[in-house]
Homo-oligomer: A and B are copies of this chain.
Amino acid sequence: MHVTHRFAATFVDELAAAGLREVCIAPGSRSAPLAMAFARHPGIRVLVHIDERSGSFFGLGLAKASGRPVALLCTSGTAAAEFHPAVIEAFHSRTPLLVLTADRPPELREVGANQAIDQARLYGGAVRWHFDPGPPSDDAGGARAWRRLARRALAEAAGPPAGPVHLNLPFREPLTPALGELPEPEAAHLPRAVLTGTPAPGEQEVALVAEALEKAARPVLVAGGMRDGARLAGVVAALAAAGVPVLAEPTSQLRLPGTVSAYEALLRDESWAAEHRPDLVLRVGATPTSRPLNQWLAAEPARTVLIDPDRSWSDPDVLAGEVLRCDPLPLLTAAAGVHRPPDWADEWAAADRSAAGALEEEVRAGPLHEGAVVRSLARVLPAGATLFVGSSMPIRAVDAFWRASAENPRFLANRGASGIDGLVSTGLGVAAAGPGPTVILLGDLSLYHDMNGLLALRRHGVRATVVVLDNGGGGIFAFLPQAAHEDVFEDLFLTPLGLRFEDVARLYGLDYCDVRESSRLDGALGSAIASERSTLVRVGFSVEDSVRGHRACWAAVARVSRSGRPAGPGA
């Protein structure tokens, strides 16, 4: 048996032994040795994608949802570059991916050979580890080296912090084994990799947080995106009960009863924001999405403690005076033990109740827009569901309109690099990981950008509900200063698609449902989610209604928060 095929069988066998379960493969010739070894290994699920870009985002979604590394495999050439956007998102969102790019051997590089490009360090610094072991050879360690390579690649991808690992794997011909000569994995005794966990804080760090909280009169906890934020649910509830307002973005998995859900709307009112400045900010998770929240935090910087186990320094406004690079759980547990008067927290809670009521009322009475869809999803999503949220408007609408609940879905998003690319595929990868139903909430441009990804529904038997917020193009720009430049606004920024989404549904075999009235949302979304089949739900409204509806919501919240608050010195 040729060394290439012995390598492939052995390498794949060790990946399976080390916990790999899924590989997304794009068809190709140079990658055939590994593709065949994956397909013939009983422990590996092979998912074939024709568009490498979609395939890589699908793998990313699988890995985000499962927390386990997923492998990608493609042939040489531009196919490998198609993985680049997903690799960048994986790097920034700390998602474990094992990226395997087949390559021509060195003698076929730089000499005009077909599909030969320079694949060394193709993803630059956006990987945890890159290595090119050269073509498989019996002169270079054999099975022990091949198994160590597999084991180490997965360990580096697992982190912490988790992320993408790139192995560039050159193969010489023959690329397929002779028929009947099926390669067997070769045995080799290997020590098992030891993974390091999240660093625990020492006594000093625990004391720092407790002491800061004791001194503070107006503390808040700000929780940004965290895939595994649910593990903090108990301690965050305790902290809220102990008098610390918790401002938790849905993707933190912590927008639970007792937390403030309407901060985005409240902090848009400058006078309310000014009267409720904190004197201590504890931050966990990614940089918050909400611009009013970030502006409020930056306006008169309070003492800010950034809890940063992944060493990401997520603090673009340079507010953190203390950066604690350790597990937030023991730190927040200590903080929750500090007892404090309830006035500050009560004020936030009262404002939040009024604001939430005002939003509810305004969304019901006003025009259909993103906020209405978010509130409808909150009503109809069953327990155990996952909501995969697109970048741009959807993530902001979920942040602004999702009301705290004990029955939240899991919120996932591509907020590492916040691209609008690959979102359909990432969502379908999430759906493929299961177990609950998955709803993918996207803008119209995002759906178009990764429309190819819809092929996975049929090809891989994935079921999902795709909800497209069709505001006629890049609606988010209508909220930005660009909108005033009418000579170029539509052509450069709004860029309406001009596609009929029912044609998209027909092409890819989804059921289709068109909603243009708020009153039909619950019924349409509920049926789609309950259906055995995948449905594309298009919610159509104008960008003018979106802007008008949002502004009416902020005005309504400002009205109730002003009328409800105690008269301050300037009131």
Contact = CB atoms under 8 A, between A and B. Distances in A.
A39 B491 contact: yes
Contact of A448 (B50, B82, B124): B50
Given A81-B87, A452-B452, 20 more contacts: A27-B474, A27-B493, A46-B492, A52-B421, A78-B84, A78-B88, A78-B422, A82-B85, A91-B117, A92-B117, A111-B313, A112-B312, A112-B314, A115-B418, A116-B316, A117-B417, A176-B484, A455-B499, A458-B498, A499-B508
B316 A111 contact: yes
Interface string A258-289: 00000000000000000000000000001101
Listed from nearest, the 8 A-B pairs whose CB atoms lie closest are A112-B314, A78-B419, A113-B316, A78-B85, A81-B84, A112-B287, A503-B507, A81-B85
A110 interface: yes
Contact of A48 (B111, B118, B312, B491): B491
A121 interface: yes
B118 A418 contact: no
A115 B27 contact: no
Interface string A481-504: 110110110011101011110011
B32 A482 contact: yes
A315 interface: yes
A85 to B, nearest CB: 4
B29 A477 contact: yes
A36 interface: yes
A440 interface: no
Interface in A309-332: 312-316, 318
Interface string A216-238: 00000000000000000000000
Nearest to A310: B112
A110 B287 CA distance: 12
Contacts of A474: 27
A478 B119 CA distance: 27
Contact of A449 (B50, B492, B507): B50
Interface string A75-101: 001110110110111011000000000
Interface of A: 25, 27, 29, 32, 35-36, 39-40, 46, 48, 50-53, 77-79, 81-82, 84-85, 87-89, 91-92, 107-108, 110-118, 120-122, 124-126, 174-176, 179, 286-287, 289, 312-316, 318, 417-419, 421-422, 445, 448-449, 451-452, 455, 458-459, 474, 477, 480-482, 484-485, 487-488, 491-493, 495, 497-500, 503-504, 506-508
A289 B113 CA distance: 10
A27 B500 CA distance: 21
A25 B120 CA distance: 29
A121 to B, nearest CB: 6
Nearest to A32: B482
B485 A179 contact: yes
A51 B419 CA distance: 11
Given A50-B449, A507-B507, A455 B497 contact: yes
Contacts of A176: 480-482, 484-485
B112 A315 contact: yes
22 contacts: A27-B445, A27-B493, A32-B492, A36-B485, A40-B488, A48-B492, A50-B445, A50-B495, A81-B87, A82-B84, A82-B85, A88-B117, A92-B117, A114-B287, A117-B126, A118-B125, A174-B481, A176-B480, A176-B484, A176-B485, A451-B451, A499-B507
Given A477-B29, A485-B36, A287 B125 contact: no
A418 B491 CA distance: 33
A451 B497 CA distance: 14
B503 A313 contact: no
A181 B492 CA distance: 18
A42 to B, nearest CB: 13
Contacts of A312: 112
Contacts of A36: 485, 488, 492
A48 B452 CA distance: 20
Contacts of A480: 29, 176
A89 B85 contact: no
Interface centre among A92, A179, A487, by most chain B C-beta atoms within 10 angstroms, is: A92
A313 B29 CA distance: 24
Interface centre among A50, A120, A176, A418, by most chain B C-beta atoms within 10 angstroms, is: A50
Contact of A78 (B107, B417, B452, B504): B417
Contact of A313 (B89, B110, B316, B419): B110
B122 A124 contact: yes
Nearest to A125: B118
A84 B214 CA distance: 52
Contacts of A482: 29, 32, 176
